[in-house]
Amino acid sequence: MNPFNYHKPSSLAAAVALHRDAEDPAYLSGGHTLLPTMTQRLAAPSDLIDLEGLTELTGIAAQGSVLSIGAFTRHAEVAASSEVRGALPALADLAEGVGDAQVRNRGTMGGSLANSDPAADYPAAALALNAVIRTDRREIAADDYFRGLFETALAEDEVITRIDFAVPSRAAYEKFPNPASRYATVGVMVADFRGAVRVGITGAGPCACRAPAFEAALSARLAPASLDDAELPAIDFNSDLHASAEYRAHLVRVMAQRATARIAAGTD
């Protein structure tokens, strides 16, 4: 790891100001992608700006049809939160399955969404749950947020403050883990908003996406069989050692069907 300056600002405005003035800065929000990259000397930021403790980025609140989660909330906190468990059990389940215990106790929701790893879990939820990504300067609909491989709508110095999830009547997340890394080879969240179904997919392509034909088929009839012949999303499916594009595409359908089966069975 190369030497760097460490900052722990006491306000969001100070954090953004530090970022603006530093030579090659990076926000630190859990660091479970950034720090390993730095120890491998693949990244060498001049300044790390730690977002821990900023009040604008903390707290979980369920208000009617919206569950609002502060960006610095760690995965383990999401998994353990009674508010999340009550309003959106599928999201708590998803959080419980992110990485391992060490990752869950350090990594944050905002950090994960800002990084937009193609195999991260949260992006599937953000899309399926029609999330609004709130930042220090604006609101971004999840549908407009994911732009490509590790690429989002965020500006260089922009900070996610909260994520507001729409609360569906039912939802479920199914993941097919990469056997080695346990990242999502494919992860699919299906959310039923009183008959209008949204499907968020991660792991399959360069970034998370929705599956319009799946959504139409499930909105017509919420059953696994509805997806038997539904068209897959029109993306370039990833291909790697563990899953070819063809196999991944197949897994998208299977995971979507399994998530559908769970909510249709009323277990989620």
Partner 1 sequence: MSAETGIGAAVKRREDLRFITGQGNYTDDLNVPGQAYGVFLRSPYARARINAVDAADALQVEGALAVFTGQDTAADGLGDLPCGWLVKSRDGSDMVSAPHPPLAVSQVNYVGEPYGLVVAESLAAARQAAERVDADFEELTPVVATARAAQASPIHQGLEDNLAYDWELGDEAATDAALSAAVHVTRLDLTNNRLIPNAIEPRAALATFDPTNGEYQLRTTSQNPHLERLVLSAFVQIAPEHKLRVVAPDVGGGFGSKIFVYAEETVVTWAAAKVGRPIKWTAQRSESFLADAHGRDHVTHAELGLDEAGRFTALKVSTTANLGAYLSTFGSSVPTYLYGTLLAGQYKTPNIHVRTHGVYTNTAPVDAYRGAGRPEATFVVERIIEAAARETGRDPAELRRLNMIAPEDFPYQTPVALVYDTGNYQASLDKALRLADYAGFGQRRAASQAAGKRRGIGFSCYIEACGLAPSQLAIQLGAGVGLYESGEIRVNPTGSVTVFTGSHSHGQGHETTFAQVVSDKLGVPFDDVEVVHGDTGRVEFGLGTYGSRSLAVGGSALICASDKIIAKGTRIAAHMMQAEPDSVAFEAGAFISGNQRLTLQEVAFAAYVPADYPPDLEPGLSEKAFYDPENFTYPAGAHIAEVEVDEATGVVQLANFVAVDDFGHVINPMIVDGQVHGGLAQGAGQALLEHGIYDADGQLTTGSYMDYCMPRADDVPDFTVDTTVTPCTHNPLGVKGCGEAGAIGSPAAIINAVTDALGTEDITMPATPEQVWRKLRGL
Tally Cβ neighbours within 10 Å of residue 137. 11
65 lies in the binding site for partner 1 (CB under 8 A): no
- Count of residues touching partner 1 (by CB under 8 A): 19
Query: Whole-number minimum distance, CB 224 to partner 1, in Å?
Result: 11
User: Do 132 and 140 touch, CB atoms closer than 8 A?
Assistant: yes
CA dihedral of residues 140, 145, 151, 157 (deg, nearest 10):
0
Q: Which of 89, 68, 71, 67 is nearest to 80 (CA)?
A: 89
Taking CA atoms, 79 is separated from 27, 95, 105, 255, 262, in Å, by 24, 5, 10, 21, 19
180 lies in the binding site for partner 1 (CB under 8 A): yes
Residue with tokens 């508010």: 83
Residues 234-263 that bind partner 1 (CB under 8 A): 241-244, 247, 250-251, 254
The binding track of 182-221 with respect to partner 1, each residue x by CB under 8 A or -, is -x--------------------------------------
176 lies in the binding site for partner 1 (CB under 8 A): yes
1 lies in the binding site for partner 1 (CB under 8 A): yes
Which of 6, 23, 42, 179 binds partner 1 (CB under 8 A)? It is: 179
Binding site for partner 1 (CB under 8 A): 1-3, 40-41, 176, 178-181, 183, 241-244, 247, 250-251, 254
